[in-house]
Amino acid sequence: MSAFSLNHVYESQQFDRSLLDIVFSTADEMKADLQTRDRQHADALKGKIMASLFYEPSTRTRFSFESAMARLGGAILTTENAKEFSSAAKGESLYDSTHVMCGYADVIVMRHSEPGSAKTAAEVSTVPVINAGDGSGQHPTQALLDLYTLKDSFSNIDGVSIAMVGDLKYGRTVRSLSYLLTKYDKIKIYYVSPDVCRMDDDIKTYLTQNQIEWAEEDDLTKVLPLVDCVYMTRIQKERFHDPEDYVHAAGKYILDLKKVQMMKADAIIMHPLPRVDEIPQEVDQDPRARYFEQALNGLYIRMALLKLLLDQ
């Protein structure tokens, strides 16, 4: 297994299977370490500083990154809202902000509204940049924790079939996960969405080029008995330019207990969260519901990435 060779993490296409194996084995170490009293990695990043630069709202991603850095002994620079409470409010460019932050921190974790912004920052940064979501572009660390959850559930990701449901046009999580799934064999993806939220052609073309079988479907009930994983997403109201399109899409797919019973007994339900109404709380008690475990896996994956990027 080769050494971790990335200097930045800005898109899923950077990862091959050997790098994924390194990330997952390191995440396993982090998970095991947190479950012991005598923690070996508690000071792994002592003296290192992470800049948490979020221009858009976040709960799980931001706090899991900050928790990950703290649990590895590092320090954190953060702002409540970088769009309003940083010099971006004065018109400072991302280029200038990145240059400045490089002098203050050893790693920059960035969420921004513009697709490709993290890659742009990485091109000028002298410290690692991690993409924590770039508008409707990508969310690679979410995709990594999603794959890690699939690995935990099925041991082998090869041969997994998955339904991605909801907002596929604006959903950066499903885009990033689709890219990563091309690293595995005999994958089958069903895209289930309203017409106004269909997956963009660039992803479908990429899947075809990489011999990944995919199909589009309007009827969720047809797909539920066929798949190993149902990956629900919310309809992202904030991304829609036409209110009528949002009204057409909202509430179309709701995975209630009746629909859950159509799934395979050993299938799992995932969701990147936050949810709105697409999974009622009554589903939480079903053993197939893995979205809170999925969120916790984000801590282990982000601890792994920080350690791999900074402790080389």
Q: How confident is the model at residue 185 (pLDDT cuts 50, 70, 90)?
A: very high
Catalytic residue among 8, 26, 61, 175: 61
Q: DSSP class of residue 72?
A: T
Active site includes 61?
A: yes
Active site includes 60?
A: yes
Residue 85: per-residue pLDDT: 43
Average pLDDT over every residue of 168-196: 93
Give how far the C-alpha of residue 228 lies from the chain's centroid of Cα atoms, to the nearest Å. Answer: 19
Q: Read off the pLDDT of residues 262-284 as tens digits, 9 standing for 90 and up.
A: 999 999 999 999 998 899 999 99
Q: How confident is the model at residue 285 (pLDDT cuts 50, 70, 90)?
A: very high
pLDDT greater than 90 at residue 252: no
Residue 129: per-residue pLDDT: 96
DSSP 103-124: TT-SEEEEEESSTTHHHHHHHH
Catalytic residue among 62, 111, 151, 183: 111
pLDDT greater than 90 at residue 154: yes
Q: Read off the pLDDT of residues 54-99 as tens digits, 9 standing for 90 and up.
A: 888 788 899 999 999 999 999 999 876 555 444 444 456 888 888 8
Whether pTM exceeds 0.85 = yes
Higher pLDDT, 103 or 95: 103
The answer to whether the CB of 106 falls within 8 A of the CB of 77 is no
Average pLDDT over every residue of 246-251: 60
Strand runs (DSSP E) across the chain, as ranges?
Answer: 49-54, 75-78, 107-112, 129-134, 161-165, 188-192, 213-217, 229-232, 268-270
Enumerate domains of the chain plus CATH numbers.
12-137+298-310 (3.40.50.1370), 140-295 (3.40.50.1370)
Residue 58: per-residue pLDDT: 80
Which of 166, 156, 161 has the alpha carbon at shortest distance from 192?
A: 166
Active site includes 36?
A: no
Sheet with 213-217: list strands edge to edge.
213-217, 188-192, 161-165, 229-232, 268-270
Q: How confident is the model at residue 248 (pLDDT cuts 50, 70, 90)?
A: low
User: How much is the mean pLDDT over the chain?
Assistant: 90
Q: How confident is the model at residue 170 (pLDDT cuts 50, 70, 90)?
A: confident
Burial of 25 per CB tally in 10 Å (0-12, 13-18, 19+): exposed
Cα 177 to Cα 184: distance, rounded to the nearest angstrom:
12
Active site includes 111?
A: yes
Active site includes 139?
A: yes
